[in-house]
Structure 1
Amino acid sequence: MEGFIPCQEGSAEIVFFDIETTVPNRTGQRFCVLEFGAIVVCPRNLVELESYSTLIKPKDLSVVALRSGRSDGITRDAVANAPGFEEVSDKIFNLLNGRVWGGHNIQRFDCVRIKEAFADIGRPPPVPVGIIDSLGVLTEKFGKRAGNMKMASLATYFGLGKQKHRSLDDVRMNLEVLKHCATVLFLESSLPSILNGSWHSPSTITTRSRSSAGKLTCKEETSRKSPTYQRTVPYTRESLGKMTERVKNILCKAQGSQPINSLLKHSHSVLR
């Protein structure tokens, strides 16, 4: 692959993953995994090394709606002929075990569902060497600009299109959101006195916040993904293209017209 730089020996690859599940509609009912999707990326350059996705048939098909009320379109017919979790568990284990896990709100939702699914088939779950939860990272670093920090809101903010609520599509969107956020944060860190706060506006957006963002351990959650947050947001959404163009002009004047590409290629480092 042109431009591909192999990962250094011993460096931990990152696997971004996402699951889609049923939505419990009565007390005591559990989430059932309906789809798993993941991409493995090199931590040095975020190049995609491997991808995998599969629908998953739950043991009780009746928990899946005949007609999906969600945008993901996962219906009972869609998963009727899919493999059960046990049939794909080896593949999922090998993808996740011993790697850094990445995803949006995975600490409170996806990690727990994976652990439950492996427990149901009597197997120990895969274990990460680290976790990058973009919900916690971006709430701390970027949250004041993108409202409630759901993936759909972040995608809209950066003009990445509508979230599809399908595992592999959402994983790739998650990675693009991280890259876009990193680019803006890197540019701001290059000229903080000029760029920081350059997108302020008088308008505010109020959402609800959660605690304990950024901890490594997986936590149980009883509601579906992407909770909302409490904070005042003194920013309005603006297209990344307009922001980047303005920043590009400022950087060229301030840094002797240094090519913007040479600055952008290392931008993901600000999220570490």
Structure 2
Amino acid sequence: MPELGNLVAFFDFKDGRDGLLHFSGMTACSETLSVITRRRFCVQATDNTGKPASTTPARDKNKPTLDRYYKLVYFILHDKFWIGHGLVNSDWPKLEEEFNHIGKPSPKPKGIIDTVPFISSGTKLAQLAVLFGLGEPSLGYYNNCEENYDAIKQCRDAMPILDMEKEKDMGSNIYPMISHLRKFQQPPEKATTKSARGSEPRKSQKLEGKENPPRKSLAESPSSLEERLLVAMKEDRVTFFDFKKGSNGLLHFGGMEVTSKTLVVINETRFCVQATQINGRPARNTPAWLKNEPTLSESYDFVYYMLHNKTWIGHDLRKSDFPMLEKECKHIGKSPPRPKEIIDTVPFISSGSKLGKLAVLLGLGKPAARLDCRNCQVNYNAIKKCRDAMPILDVEIEQDKESNMHPMISLFKKYQQPPEEETTILFGHEEETTKRKSPQGKVKDGGVRKSLRLKEASQRLKKQSM
């Protein structure tokens, strides 16, 4: 295989559901995978004459064809190593076809690293790559390239978790994951490329001695939506929630009520509210263009119903989300919802276990990009992927027989520590009572005793002054 050179190109070129062709391309350093150039756009498909195809929807007739961007595409791709999912069978033939339609020479690769053989190998790293989203089509069609790029970087971070050594090409400093992907590429003489005009379909890539990972049978789960819902309604429920200050200055709430065993979503909501002062009025530091947003008082009943007396699951609930929610409820003069139990994921992530490290790569505890109110959903998806990763990391799947909980929830509960301090807010009174647990387990009313001592001291000072 030829040398990679200093630059590699990630790209994706596919038909979108909107009838347009979606291109996304990135050039990156072959040693560090740092992005140098990033472009993405949509164009109309063309016919053999180079004119827009008749299949283009009427609303997109004003969109350009590839003729406007062909120089940019040529600059990004030509004479570079291409990296992507399904390039040989799908993206490259489609790109050649469009370049032929507009009468322009198509870019040629220095070499192709297709991730399909790697995914089909069934190795542990390949199974993790699927969980990271490698090769999974995105709803934003031209985001596929960036998602594959991110998945490859996550695979590199997952190598130490699987006790894999960094692999480098001899005599070069190529990015370890690229070196690993090159091992799964078929020799050029064995790989059948698909012509631009369309020839016989290419045989599926399959490594000798390796079989594709088995797919789950649909018969293993209830066949209809009604059956799944009936099963879900018999289970207990837990609530994922997140309540943090967003980058726009608002407070973002996200909540999901799910079944405790199968994590089927029963109820989901997310919204933004203004922060409030002690008197319940909107905070002064709220940006002017957000002054019309509501406060928590308008959504309080819904939040209380979703959270009160439920088992809460989330990241950093004890030190961040719950105190902030208590503070806002106090500002609006409402009683905060109380948890039946709090299952915080922070101790699990801090444990240093292989699954804990992988959970971070899968997004557990990471804020969602741009959309702060989606943090709850990000954590939920990460926990479900952690469950799929347990067999890959040879983690024993234990089911809590007493509570009939999801395996990951049962695992989280093992890492929970008893709360050292439990604060009860007495609304309508000036003082707060703090109950502390001593090492022997006895409860001491430290807050009340302290307030009594302060009152006695103030009375003595008054007598002395008189």
Which interval holds the TM-score relative to the shorter structure? 0.5 to 0.7
Instruction: Verify: 1:187 aligned to 2:182, yes or no.
Output: no
Residues 8 and 30 in structure 2, CA contact (< 8 A), matched pair in contact too: yes
Query: 2:353 is matched with which residue?
Result: 246
Residue in 1 aligned with 2:8? 14
Q: TM-score scaled by structure 2?
A: 0.34
2:152 paired residue number: 178
Partner Cα separation in structure 2 for residue 37 and residue 134 of structure 1: 17
Q: 1:3-42, aligned counterparts within 5 Å?
A: 11-21=5-15, 34-42=21-29
What amino acid is aligned across from residue 55 of structure 1 in structure 2? C
Alpha carbons of structure 1 residues 40 and 107: separation in structure 2 relative to 1, 3 Å: same
Partner of 1:62: 54
Q: Which has the higher contact order (CA 8 A, sep 6+)?
A: 1
Q: What is the alpha-carbon distance in structure 2 between the residues aligned to residue 56 and residue 45 of structure 1?
A: 31
Alignment root-mean-square deviation, CA = 4.2
Change (3 A) 1:110 1:145: closer
> What aligned pairs does 1:38-57 form with structure 2 within 5 A after superposition?
38-57=25-44
CA contact (8 A) 1:56 1:85 kept: yes
Gaps of 5+ in 1: 1-9, 24-31, 67-75, 192-211, 236-240, 251-272
Residues 1:90 and 2:71 are matched in the alignment: yes
Match of 2:104 in 1: 123
Higher Cα Rg, which structure: 2
Pick closer, same or farther for the CA change 1:122–1:143 going to 2, 3 Å: farther
Deviation for aligned residue 1:186: 4.1
Amino acid paired to 2:354? V
> Structure 1 residues 145, 116: CA separation in 2 closer, same or farther (over 3 Å shift)?
closer
What is the rounded CA distance, in whole Å, between the counterparts of 1:167 and 1:40 in structure 2? Answer: 19
2:344 aligned residue: none
3-state SS of the aligned residue for 1:177? helix
Task: State how 1:218-233 maps to structure 2 within 5 Å.
Answer: 219-220=193-194, 231-233=212-214
Q: Is the 8 A contact 2:16 2:141 kept in 1?
A: no
Q: CA deviation at 1:159?
A: 7.4
8 Å contact 1:144–1:232 — kept in the other structure?
Answer: no
Q: What is the CA–CA distance in structure 1 between the aligned matches of 2:200 and 2:125, rounded to whole Å?
A: 24
Cα 1:143–1:106 shift into 2, 3 Å: farther
Give the CA deviation at 1:245.
4.3
Kept after mapping to 1: 8 A contact 2:9/2:27: yes
Distance (whole Å) between structure 2 residues aligned to residue 249 and residue 84 of structure 1: 47
Q: 1:45 to 1:223 in 2, by over 3 A?
A: farther
Identify unmatched segments of 5+ residues in structure 2.
Answer: 46-50, 166-183, 217-347, 358-466
| Structure 1 contact 33–117 (Cα < 8 Å) conserved | no
Secondary structure of the 2:33 match is: coil
Spell out, residue by residue over 1:174-193, the C-alpha distance to the aligned partner (whole angstroms, 9 max, x if none): 011112223323432448xx
Give me the identity figure in percent.
18
For 2:6, give the aligned amino acid.
A
